[in-house]
Amino acid sequence: MPSYSSHVFFLFSEDNLSLGQYSVQSSIWPCPPDCTRYSPNNAVDGNNKTCMRADIIGESSGEKTVWWRVNLGDIKSIYSIRIQFKNIWQQYIVRQRGRLAGFSLYIFNTTEIQSGHLCYKDGPELPLLDITNVCTNHGRYVIFYNERKIWEVYYPKDYETSVVTELCEVDVMGCHTEGFYGQNCDLACPLHCQKRRCHIINGTCLGCTAGWIGDFCNTACSFGYHGMECKTRCTGYCLRGSSCNHVSGLCEYGCESGWTAPSCDQQLEKEIDMENISNVSIKRQLVKMDGMDRIVHINAAIIVEIIHDVTRQVGNVKAVYLDTLGHFVVVCSL
């Protein structure tokens, strides 16, 4: 859910994530080709006297939307975003606030705004020209977005219908180093947080690695469960009825008799040569030929008899076949 509060409850003394980072914008106010006066990077140069400026949108323009985006270089843990809009002579303050009014701030990991997290939506009151919004989230890109769709949307009376966007400084505050949180970014996120990402204020995990649950991902799965969010049941026959490993789902101490490691969910198989079968009536079906035992003839009744005999001695029959030497082979479950 987006945050609609502009109050800052948690102050950072350092870690301006946007300072000097690469920025782009939807359009630039017309100027000579080599002009940098309205460059998008002016909004992250640490100097609030230099501003980016986008071309006009709204009632007097064919364009209805404007955006500015900064690339933080990597996914960062963000706490707040401060916007300093151009503040000129006193008589123009209301006009400038009307231009800024209605803006949105997004945090996202790709350059597609549709995949972003809306962390702040301004309105309906006019914003201050220096405004800080708490936006606790993780992301690589921060985007400022505004629109004036005059014939589609009703805007409050103080909103300017033709907008020139001038961002003089955008400060994205948070932690540079992955896996840390706190006012000074010196507290390590809990060990089992997914990707070592946690809430920048209280350290609660944004998700847990496999086998762990809880706000701080410090509780192992209960008996008989494993995996992500501990939602997967153990399926194997672990030794002496023990639970599978809560992370991997494997049986750490071995399997019950007749089952194979590592998951103990596959039955052992044993091949029984015809020579080892005690039933005499079956043996009469064999003759010596070139020093090898070969099947001369076997009817359906004999096959049934084989299965019954093997089942009594060994276990359940899974398959019956002739091997390459002509031996009759029975595959059983132990």
* Average pLDDT score, the chain: 82
Extended beta strands in 34-150, E state: 57-58, 65-85, 104-108, 117-121, 130-147
Domain count, the chain: 2
Looking at 157, 175, 193, the residue that finishes a domain is 175
206, 197 in Cβ contact below 8 A?
yes
Contact by Cβ (8 Å): 175, 185: yes
pTM to 2 decimals?
0.72
pLDDT at position 270 is 54
Weakest mean pLDDT among 87-101, 215-229, 251-265: 251-265
Helices and strands, number each (H, E), in the chain = 3, 21
pLDDT at residue number 265: 87
Query: Which pLDDT value is given to residue 261?
Result: 77
Is 310 part of a structural domain of the chain?
yes
Asked if 275 and 164 sit in the same domain, the reply is no
**Which of 76-80, 153-157, 287-291 has the lowest average pLDDT?**
287-291
Q: Is the residue at 35 inside a domain?
A: yes
Residue 157 pLDDT > 90:
no
Residue 302 lies in a domain: yes
Phi then psi for 233, rounded to 5 degrees? -75, 145
Give a yes or no: residue 14 inside a domain.
no
Q: Please check the confidence at residue 133 and state whether its pLDDT lies above 90.
A: yes
164 and 277 fall within a common domain: no
Containing domain of residue 162, as a range? 23-175
Here the contacts of 157-162 (C-beta below 8 Å, separation 24 or greater) are: 158/94, 158/97, 158/98, 158/101, 158/126, 159/98, 159/101, 159/102, 159/126, 160/58, 160/95, 160/98, 160/99, 160/101, 161/58, 161/59, 162/56, 162/57, 162/58, 162/59, 162/60, 162/61
3 in a structural domain:
no
301 domain residue, yes or no: yes
Residue 49 has pLDDT above 70, yes or no: yes
Check residue 280 and give its pLDDT.
41
pLDDT band at 151 (very low <50, low <70, confident <90, very high): confident
- Cα gap 54→63, rounded to integer Å: 11
179-192 residue pLDDT tens? 999 988 999 999 99
- Give me the pLDDT at residue 94, please: 94
pLDDT score of 1: 37
**The CATH number of the domain where 51 resides is what?**
2.60.120.260
* Residue where a domain stops, chosen among 141, 175, 209: 175
pLDDT of residue 287: 33
pLDDT tens-place string over residues 304-321: 666 666 566 555 666 665
**Cβ(30)–Cβ(55) below 8 Å:** yes
Task: Please report the pLDDT score of residue 7 as a whole number.
Answer: 45
Most confident of 4-18, 27-41, 99-113, 180-194: 180-194
pLDDT (tens digit per residue) in 169-228: 999 999 999 899 998 899 999 999 999 999 999 999 999 999 999 999 999 999 999 999
d(CA 156, CA 98): 9
Is residue 254 in some structural domain? no
Any domain includes 216? no
H/E element, 310: helix 300-313
| 166 and 38 in a common domain | yes
- Taking 50 as the threshold, does the pLDDT of residue 303 lie above it? yes
Return the pLDDT at 266.
86
280 and 144 share one domain:
no
Provide φ and ψ at 194, rounded to 5°: -60, 125
Residue-wise pLDDT for 263-287, tens only, equals 898 887 655 454 544 444 444 343 3
How would residue 12 be classed by pLDDT, with cut points 50, 70 and 90?
Answer: low
What does the block give as tokens for 210? 């496999």
Over 90: is that where the pLDDT of 105 sits? Answer: yes
Last residue of a domain, one of 152, 175, 198: 175
111/145: higher pLDDT: 145
Same domain for 159 and 39?
yes
